[in-house]
Every structure is written in C-alpha cells, then in structure tokens.
A and B are shown apart, each in its own frame.
Chain A
Amino acid sequence: MKRFTVTVYRHNPAKDQRSRYQTYTVAVEEGARVLHLLHAIHAEDPSLSYRYCCGTGQCGSCAVRVNGEPVLACMTEARDGMVIDPLNLPVKKDLLVDMEPVLGKIASIVPKDVECIPSRDEVEALKPLRSCIECLACVSVCPAMEVAEFAGPLSMKQEMRLAIDPRDSCDRITDAIRDGLFMCTTCQYCWKVCPKKIEIPGKAIEKLRRMANQRGLTLPRHAEVATLISETGRSVPKNQPTFLDQVPEVIEPAGPVRGTVGFFVGCMYNNRLPQTALDAMEVLSRNGIRVIIPHEQVCCGSPLIRTGQTDILPDLMEKNIAAFTCRGIDTVVTMCAGCGSTLKNDYRTPFVVKDVNEILTEIGIEEPARLPIRVAYHDPCHLLRGQGIQKQPRELIARVAELVELPVKCCGAGGGTRSGQPEVSKALAGKRAEEIEKAGVEWVISSCPFCEFHIGEHSKRPVKNITTLLLEGYRRKDQDRGGEAGESAAA
C-alpha cells in the first residue's frame, strides 16, 4: 500500500455558494488508478460525488481533470500530490458534470430506404471514428465552443462518421456547416486529450471542409486565399519588400560554423513580418549556424489543408521538398509554428524538420544579457500540440527576462477562422488579451507569426517573437560591453 495526499474539487451548487478544495490522504495499492483513489476517498467521505461504470476505459463516464488536463480516471495512474478537478463543463456536484445536454445532441444516422452494406474499405474508414466513448474530454477543452455557437469536436466527429457512411441518407456537409464547421481553429487540443486519440481536427474537420470544398461550399474568404496561393505561391499579398527579397541564399555565421541548416520562412514571416525573420537570422548566425535559404520556396500549404482546399497541395509540397533536397540539406528549420507543424505532420520529407526553438536549445546558445522586464509566453497551438514543443521556448525566454505563465489557450488565429469567422477569432483574442492584462507583464512573447500578429492586434502589450527577444538580449549585452570597454578606455 502507498499513501497519497491529493486535492479534490468540491462543490454542491444546490447548497454551497462557492467551490472549495479539499485535501485527502488515503492508502491505495501499487498501480492504483485515479478512480481507485477516488474510491478510497469515498470510503472515508461518502459525500464525494464522481462518476464511473466500467473501470476499463470503455464507457466514458469517468473523465476528470488531473493537474488541469482531462484524463480518464480509471486509466490514469494515481500519484501523490495530484489535483483533481471536474471537466470544464457545468458541474452538478463535485466531479460530476452535466453530460446529458451534449450527449443528447449527437446526430443519429437516418438510414436509406434501400439496403446497403458498407464495404471493407468503408468499414476501415469508419472504425477510427467509432471508437469514441463519448467521454467529453474533447468538448471540455474546445476554445471555439467557449465563444461561439459551435457544436464542437464530438459533433464534428459524428457528422464525419455519417458523411462517409454509405447507409446514411442526409446531407451532413450542410449540417456540419450549420453547426460551425468553419469555427474550429484547428488548435488540436481536442484530440490531444482524447483517450482514444481520435484525430478530430485532421480526420474529421479538415476532411469535412474538403468535402464542403468539393461541393463549392468553401467560405469566400478562404477561396480568395487559395486563389492567391495558386497565383503567387504565397497566402499573403506582398505590400513591402519581403524577407526573401532582403537575404542572400546563404548567410554565413560571424564566427566558426557549428552547423548548417536550410530555412523555411513561410508566408507570414516572408510577406508580413520580414523583420522578425531577419532577427531570427541574426540570432542563428551569432550562434554559429550557417543558413541556406532557397529562394524558390513557396507556401507550405497549411492554409489550404486547414480549410479543405487541397487541390494544388501536391504541387506546393513537391516544390518545397525539391528546393531543399537539391541543395543537399538534411535539416530544415522553421520558425512559423504552422509551417513547422505542416512540414512535420502533413509532409513526408527526406530531411529532418526542426523548429527554431529546438535548434537553438539543442546547440546551446551564447548567453544573452538579462533585460529587467516581465514577459508572458503564449504557447502557439501548432507548436505546443502540433509539434509537442513546450519546454524549449520557456528555457530560452528565461535567459533574457522574467517569465510569467499564462493559462494555455488558443488565441483564435488559426484554422482559417481569422479570415473566415472573424467574430470567433476576435472573441478568443479578446479573452487572451484579458489574461495578458491580468498577468501584469510588459511584453508578450510567442513563436508563431499568426499568434504574434493576431494577439498584437488585440492586446495593449507589445507581442514579440522569441528570437527578437534573444536579439534584444544580445544587443543589450553588446551595449553593456561597449559601455564597459568605453569606460575602461577612458580610465
């Protein structure tokens, strides 16, 4: 037996005005799950309410948040010091949340009159979507649902399941659009917390958007972006000298060469925020990295994939891959979280793709000077969940400034919502701006041009890229040194 002390959310809305946390110390067997911990607590304090049935991850009754993240209580190993909260849904009591309103809205198949049996291929396509146990973990984290009339990831999964089932007689694409198909920011949160790892954004939402596209139902603003890409190779219009206009094909480092990488700039940094990309080049070269920048590179295609307009995607992929392989490059660095996630997850590249945060922490950077400021870091969804990068940016920032943590939340810039569903996108950015104000920081740091641009529009605080922050640290260092050198020379 082991003794664990854990903290549990308690609230009886019928009686108590406010929720509270209660700490319990209980004994459980080796290998016990969170559910068994709750059983042990319940044996001592029967007033604790929680839900469970199967105990084996099959019924979807027991999802709770452990240390903030949704999990199945029956499958997650219990550990000392855990904080157990209900899912972020209306609480009935303690860990019991009201699941009925969401479950009751799941669409049903409307079988055709004629007999129709799905083929093996159809069955195989349906199966991954069928393993859903309706635990609502996904629904409880979806940012779009918080600010809009979006039916949510579970509904989208179901619409997709029905859309590809030959037995169903309804038009699920228009239903999905009615239910908010274009409101999803593709933040990936839903499937990262899904106990069955059902890739709803990629395997349902983007696919439904693709089907909508084939039926001419793409949003006009999204269609404009696709036209722009097919005409110019870029998803953003050019209205200033671009990054690629300003750099040579090879940037040699100042000191000895510690490594060579290819650089994939992406449309946003190239056309809209070129200075940020130039800052990144300075940081790389200061740290001994030789950067090769093929000028024929084009849009990675992410805006097309996210919005279901994938007709010209193969062309873009081929061009981009060739641009690096023909130069014999084995490591390509991205600094746009969206491009990085796309190259890593949607492409099959013969080279390794690394985010700039990864490469900088791996090689170990020259120490910058510390700036006397407090900054908050905003995790870009496509970096945090798309690429699993969480520690590295924090490590880099902490070298320059005091880092304040924000609750992890999507800013609303992604998935085509910014152009297609601006209300959703604005509402999310507004909430983000409030949290930033609350954190009481001078700057917001991020590592994605969409987040930087979007939050920058809504927040009062300046938003800067990590590499810009590092560069400011280096500049301060040079200034201080220059100052010192000057002083000693004068002495």
Chain B
Amino acid sequence: MRADDTVECHVLVIGSGGAGVRAAIEAEKHGDTVLVSKSLAGKGGCTPMAEGGYNAALREGDSCVLHKEDTIRGGAYLNNPELVDILVNEAPERFLELVRWGAVFDRTEEGEWAQRSFGGQRIPRTCYAGDRTGHEMMMTLLERLRASNVSVLQEVSIIDLLKREGRVVGAVALDRNGELTAFQADATILATGGAARIYDISTNSATGTGDGFAMGYRAGAELIDMEMVQFHPTGAVYPYDARGRLVTEAVRGEGGILLNSKGERFMERYDPERMELSTRDVVARSIAREIAEGRATPHYGVYLDVTHLSPEKIEEKLPMMLEQFLAFGTDIRKEKMEVAPSAHHFMGGLRITPRCETTVPGLYACGEAAGGVHGANRLGGNSLAETQVFGRRAGDTAGRAPSRGTRIDTRQLENYRRKLDEFHSGGVNPVTVVKKLQEAMWNGAGITRNVHDLERTLVDVEKLAKKKLLAQTPMNRAECFTVQNMCLVASLVIRSALLRGESRGAHVRTDIFQSWDAANSPYGHTYISIHHAGIEERKVPA
C-alpha cells in the first residue's frame, strides 16, 4: 500500500469465478498477485451456478479431434480454430488437475469418470458432479486459493482500467463503502464473466453485467462477436420474479422431453435426428416458436418432462433441480416443468491471442470475458473447461510479464472523484434504467433480430446511457457504474448485430435472406473498439 492508498502488485486479477481464481493461482507462481472481486470470492459470477458439467475427451472412442469438430460445428464455424485446439487439448489436463486439488466429480461403477451427453456432442463428454458441477469446481478452487499467497479483496468493484503510455497499468475501484481505491499492476487480467443480465430474462448471476467488456472497450481493447448471445432453451417461467432461472441441459441429457400445450413432442418437427439434444440455438428458437404460435403452457412456456424417469434417477442425477422446483412448488418426479428461453451466455468478448493477450498491452482476458472460443454458439460444458484452460494461460502469461512498476497517474483519479460526485447530484434511480434496458434488449435484440428493431433499440439504449443516475448513498455508487456498463455493453451487442448481415448460430436476422449455410459463410468475426468496427471477410472453404 502506498500513502495514496494504491495497492501495488505484479498481477491484478479481476473476478473470482472459475477463470479468475484459476488465473490467480497460476499468476502467483511468478509474483505478487491480487485478486479483486465484486462479490465475496467464488460467490458471484456464473461459475458456482453452472450445473451440467465440464467437457473433456477422456473416454475410449473419444478424442480431441472429435471434441474440436463438435465444438466448431456447434459454433457455426465462427470459432477461432487455434483457440479451440487449445481448449480441447488442455481440457482433460485441467480437469485432472482439479481432481488432484480435491474436486469430487462423479465416477461410474466401472471406475471411470462419469460423463453425460450434452447437446451437439457425438460422444458423452461432459464430466459432472451431480448437477452442481460449477459449484464443485468453485469449492475446489477456493480451497486452493485460500492455501495460496494470493491476496484476495472481496466486495470491491473495479470501475475502470487505468492506462499510461498505451498500456494498462492498473485499475480504479470502489470498496464496499463506495470509497475509491486504486491498483497498480504490471499485468491486469479481466475475468469478469458475461453480461446476459442486460436482458429481461436471464439465467445469470447478479454480476453478469458485462463490466469487463465495458472496461476493456473504454481502455481501447477490441471485442469480437458481441452479437453472439446464447439463449438457453430452458429457463424457468415461475415464479415471475425468479423467471429465467436455469433448468440445466442435463435434464434433457438424462432423458427429459419437450412437449407443447397440445402434448406434441415438437422437436420432431425442428430436428428429428437430435431431438431435445440438438444445439441450444435450435432448441431455443423451436421453443420460442411454439410459444409464439400459441401452443404455450399457462405460464407462457413449454413443458419439460422427466416424469417417465425413475424417482431415484431424478434424485441422484438432478438433485439441485429437484430441490429448486420443490421450493417453488413443483415436484418434478410427478409433474412436468414449464420452461422458456432465457439469455444465458456471451460467446463474444475481448479478442485474445492463445496466450490470452488482448489488443491492449498489459491487459489479458479469460473465461466468458474473452471471445472466440465458442464461435456463434457455445456447446454446453465447454465453458467450464474454458475457464480452467484459459484461466491458467492468462495467469501464466500475465505472471511472466516483465516487472515494470509503472506508476499509475494519480491525477486520473480526480476524474473519478468528480464522477462520483456527479452521481450524488443525479436524479434517476438506476433500478428503473436497468429495467427499461433489459426490456428493450429482450424485445429489440433478443432471440431473433431485424434491422428496424435493432436500430430503434440502439436509440433507446443510447438515451438510457445518458441518464443522470442517482447514488443515494456512497454504497450505491458502484451500482451506477454497473448500470452505465450495462448500457454500453447493450449498445455493443446491437452495433455488432447490425454489422453481421447474416443468420449464424445464435444470431438470427429475420430480415436477411442468405444463400449460404454457416460452413460456407463469407464472414468471420465482427469486431468493435473505440477505434473501429466491422466484420471480417473470410475465404469460403472450397
């Protein structure tokens, strides 16, 4: 600590989800590492909520090549193949490392790792711990973190990255009481997760607001494929206030079937081959269509049914689902669930190299904050693997960065002080802005898109972004920054969606007729930064 309250370190890790904690554990091997988290460590973010599993080619008959093919086909050929190679090659190693560190993953009676089928896989590849896989990983990582020398600062929100001479040299933050603090670091890692909370209906944790996307963007970094938002096919619809809550894909993996209000197993019409285990984009759109065409259940969803499975199987394989639905008054052993799509995952994010470098020196990204691994549609189970594979890489690269000790420019902090003061003289309750933003995004930039709605929504979002927010107490200041970040991320999504003149994976443009399928698309990533924006052209494979 310096007199002016700046925390100095070699590596600063922002975020305590799977990616951030893994990165910190790795970085600490090389120098002083500080991990900062908006939430209590390991409690925020989506990692502890992940239920279904972790993809790794482990069993006989499976291979990294097959895993790669499935991932790229699922991703509508938009994935960065180099990143996919890394993911599939290193996922098994990182999995076994978690096991060494104490993770309790399910085993089969034959003494193998239990693996279930997730959508888009040809071979069961998803390792799991019941239906609390992410939680199991988080518990393991936290144990490891506690035993390490990483200093952990909890309930501190990073509000911006600090730059000097073109490099990121640290960050500025608000502590629990809303007071300003600063960090100086040779290397800074963004592991802040995704932003699906910008939608009205979302599976995400409260921290899924895209702070990292917004901060990276403001620092000049390039983001790719921000239009690629995955809508999970099965979010709960009741009770209203908890709508969006994820109903894990494992429910379908274990044999759950989808029915409309007429009792038809409608996936027969949309993907007769893969049925309920088709890719998420296909299932989500099919459900949305059933609902739109009037075959919806009382709470505007469709039925997801596991009542044909034995109660014992449900209790063993889906204990968390059973518990959650029971708490909300449905016994899934006897009654059907009601589900509808819910905003779930950002495939896009900061552009990274295989070493997790962003386009700005000194700044690294991993996990959901980074883009490129999943292309236009993520396969279930690939993200948890991504957090470990790229978390370790980011920590390693950042840890090896030379020690520069570049001081942050403390004059910059004055600007932030001024901004804080402005929040106290604002007049708009941030809660109302969030609500309007989420509804606008759901209606105008959701599961299906068209130029008219996108443009209109962009105007609305930009208006919301300009609102003078009110922080009633110092503790409300961080919330104001978050809301501004959400507005910024929303505009990035829309602008990217406008850039992509095709339907691809999770991005569906109803106003565009195209003659190519995903494999033959002439387009690559969309990219967007404060400097430029556009869409990459790519050579169509022969």
How near does chain A come to B104, taking the closest CB pair, in angstroms? 5
Inter-chain CA distance A106–B358, complex, in Å, is: 35
Most B-side CB within 10 Å, residue of A29, A30, A59, A74: A59
Q: Does A168 contact B (CB under 8 A)?
A: yes
| B161-190 interface (Cβ within 8 A of A) | 176-177
Q: Write the B128-167 contact mask toward A (1 if CB under 8 angstroms, else 0).
A: 0110100110010001101100000010000000000000
Contact indicator B324/A56 (Cβ below 8 Å): yes
Most chain A beta carbons < 10 A, residue from B102, B135, B147: B102
A30 contacts which of B105, B106, B147, B240 (Cβ < 8 Å)?
A: B240
Task: Report how far A39 CA is from B49 CA in the complex, Å.
Answer: 20
Q: Which 8 A-B pairs have the closest CB atoms?
A: A31-B239, A109-B102, A36-B241, A108-B147, A29-B240, A108-B143, A120-B107, A46-B472
* 0/1 string, A83-114, CB within 8 A of B gives 1: 00000000011000001100110101111000
Binary B-proximity of A34-68 (CB < 8 A = 1, otherwise 0):
00100100110011010111111111110000000
Query: Is B239 within 8 A of A100, CB to CB?
Result: no
Cross-chain contact A58 with B472 (CB below 8 angstroms): no
| B39 touches A (CB below 8 Å) | yes
Is A461 positioned at the interface, with any CB of B under 8 Å from its CB? no
Check A82 for interface membership: any CB of B closer than 8 A: no
Can you list 7 A-B pairs, Cβ within 8 angstroms, ordered by A? A32-B239, A56-B245, A57-B324, A59-B48, A100-B154, A108-B146, A118-B104
Residues of A within 8 A of B101 (CB): 109, 111
**Least CB separation from A51: chain B residue:** B40
Are A120 and B205 in contact, CB atoms less than 8 angstroms apart?
no
Chain A residues whose CB sits within 8 angstroms of the CB of B139 once the complex forms: 130, 132
Contacts of A55 in B (CB 8 A): 205-206, 242, 245
Whether a CB of chain A sits under 8 angstroms from the CB of B443 is no
Contacts of B472 in A (CB 8 A): 46-47
CB atoms of B49 and A54 under 8 A apart:
yes
Given contacts A31-B241, A104-B146, contact A46 B106 (CB under 8 A): no
Q: Is B497 an interface residue (CB 8 A)?
A: no
CA distance A337 to B42 in the complex (A): 41
User: Please, how many angstroms separate the alpha-carbon atoms of A53 and B246 in the complex?
Assistant: 14
- B459 in the interface, Cβ–Cβ < 8 Å? no
B328 with A93: CB separation less than 8 A? no
Q: Is A418 an interface residue (CB 8 A)?
A: no
How many chain B residues touch A (Cβ–Cβ < 8 Å)?
58
Report the minimum CB–CB distance from B85 to chain A (whole Å). Answer: 26
* B208: min CB distance to chain A, Å: 10
For A19-33 the 0/1 string (1 means CB < 8 A from B) is 000000000111111
- Asked if A100 and B40 make an inter-chain contact with CB atoms under 8 angstroms apart, the answer reads yes
> Nearest B residue to A162 by beta-carbon distance?
B102
Given A32-B239, A106-B146, CB of A57 within 8 Å of CB of B205: no
Could you say which of A42, A54, A92, A108 contacts B48, with CB atoms under 8 Å apart?
Answer: A54
Does any Cβ of A come within 8 Å of B269's Cβ? no
Contact B242 A56 (CB under 8 A): yes
Cβ distance A37 to chain B, nearest Cβ, rounded Å: 9
Q: How far is the CA of A133 from the CA of B142 in the complex (A)?
A: 12
Q: How far is the CA of A132 from the CA of B43 in the complex (A)?
A: 12
Q: How far is the CB of B192 from chain A (nearest CB, A)?
A: 14
Q: Quick check: B239 and A56 within 8 Å, CB to CB?
A: no
CB-defined contacts of A56 to chain B, threshold 8 Å: 49, 242, 245-246, 324
Q: Shortest distance in angstroms between B237's beta carbon and chain A's nearest beta carbon?
A: 11
How far apart sit A260 and B45, CA to CA, in the bound complex (Å)? 60
Contact yes or no, B102 A47, CB < 8 A: no
Decide if B309 is an interface residue (CB 8 Å cutoff).
no
| B135 near A61: Cβ-Cβ < 8 Å | no
Measured in the bound complex, the distance between the Cα atoms of B142 and A99 in whole Å is 15
Asked whether B6 is an interface residue with its Cβ less than 8 Å from the other chain, the reply is no
Cα A111 to Cα B143 in complex, Å, equals: 11
Give which listed residue, B100, B109, B132, contacts A120 with CB less than 8 A: B109
CB distance from B16 to the nearest CB of A (A): 11
B515 within 8 A of A: no
**Chain A, interface size: which category?**
35 or more
| Contact indicator A52/B475 (Cβ below 8 Å) | no
Q: Is the CB of B102 within 8 A of A167?
A: yes
- Confirm or deny: B3 has a beta carbon within 8 angstroms of a beta carbon on chain A: no
Give which listed residue, A30, A93, A117, A127, contacts B99 with CB less than 8 A: A117
Q: Is the CB of A133 within 8 A of B135?
A: yes
Question: Please, which residues of chain A bring their CB within 8 A of the CB of B48?
Answer: 53-54, 58-59, 133
Rounded to whole Å, the gap between the CB of A77 and the closest CB of chain B is: 8
Kindly state whether residue B341 has any CB partner on chain A within 8 Å.
no
Query: Does the CB pair B431–A119 fall under 8 Å?
Result: no
In contact, B130 and A52 (Cβ under 8 angstroms): no
Q: Is the CB of B241 within 8 A of A28?
A: yes
User: Would you call B323 an interface residue if the criterion is a C-beta within 8 Å of the partner chain's C-beta atoms?
Assistant: yes
> In this assembly, does B44 line the interface, its C-beta being within 8 Å of a C-beta of chain A?
yes
CA distance A168 to B104 in the complex (A): 13
Known A33-B241, A43-B431, A92-B176; judge A75-B132 contact (CB<8 A). no
Task: Confirm or deny: A365 has a beta carbon within 8 angstroms of a beta carbon on chain B.
Answer: no
Which residues between 123 and 154 of chain A lie within 8 Å of chain B, taking CB atoms? 123, 126-127, 130-134
Q: Determine if B294 is an interface residue (Cβ-Cβ < 8 Å).
A: no
B429 contacts partner chain A, Cβ-Cβ < 8 Å: yes
Interface residue? A165 (CB, 8 A)? yes
Would B205 and A106 count as touching, CB distance under 8 A?
A: no
Cβ A53 vs Cβ B107 within 8 A: no
Mark contacts of B220-246 with chain A using CB atoms, 8 A cut-off: 1 yes-contact digit, 0 otherwise: 000000000000000000111110011
> Which of B100, B105, B108, B479 is A167 in contact with, Cβ under 8 Å?
B100
Q: Check A115 for interface membership: any CB of B closer than 8 A.
A: yes
Q: A33-B242, A59-B49, A108-B143 are in contact. Are A53 and B429 (CB under 8 A)?
A: no
Closest Cβ neighbor of B43 among chain A residues: A59
Contact flag A123-B104 (CB < 8 Å), given A54-B49, A57-B327 = yes
Contacts of A110 in B (CB 8 A): 147
Q: Within 8 Å CB of B279, what residues of A?
A: none
- Rounded to whole Å, the gap between the CB of A223 and the closest CB of chain B is 34
**In the docked arrangement, what's the CA distance between A133 and B132, Å?**
11
- B450: interface (CB < 8 Å): no
Task: Indicate if the CB atoms of A115 and B100 lie closer than 8 Å.
Answer: yes
Within 8 A of A (CB), among B470-488: 471-473, 475-476, 479
- Residues on the B chain within 8 Å of A32, using CB: 239-241
A119-B107 in contact (CB<8A): yes
Contact with A along B447-473 (1 / 0, CB 8 A): 000000000000000000000000111
The chain B residue with its CB closest to the CB of A59 is B43
A54 to B49, CA, bound (A): 7
Residues from chain A with Cβ under 8 Å of B476 in the complex: 46-47
Cβ-closest chain B residue relative to A36:
B241
Please state if B239 and A123 are interface contacts (CB–CB under 8 Å): no
- A129 CB to nearest B CB, Å: 9
Residues of A within 8 A of B327 (CB): 57, 75
The answer to whether A42 and B431 touch across the interface, beta carbons within 8 angstroms, is yes
Contact check, A123 vs B107: say whether CB atoms are below 8 A apart. yes
Once the chains are docked, how many angstroms separate the CA of A115 from the CA of B139? Answer: 20
* Interface set, chain A 168-196, CB cutoff 8 A to B: 168
Known: A53-B43, A108-B146, A131-B130. 6 other contacts (CB 8 A): A32-B239, A43-B431, A54-B48, A58-B49, A109-B143, A127-B130
Closest residue on chain A to residue B46 by CB atoms: A54
Q: Is the CB of A130 within 8 A of B207?
A: no
**Interface core residue of A36, A55, A61 (most chain B CB under 10 Å):** A55
- Give the distance in Å from the alpha carbon of A43 to the alpha carbon of B144 in the complex: 38
B111 at the interface (CB under 8 A from A): yes
Report the separation of the CA atoms of residues A488 and B347 in the bound assembly, to the nearest whole angstrom.
Answer: 94
Mask, B4-15, CB within 8 Å of A = 1, is: 000000000000
Please measure, in the bound complex, the distance between the C-alpha atom of A415 and the C-alpha atom of B40, giving whole angstroms.
34
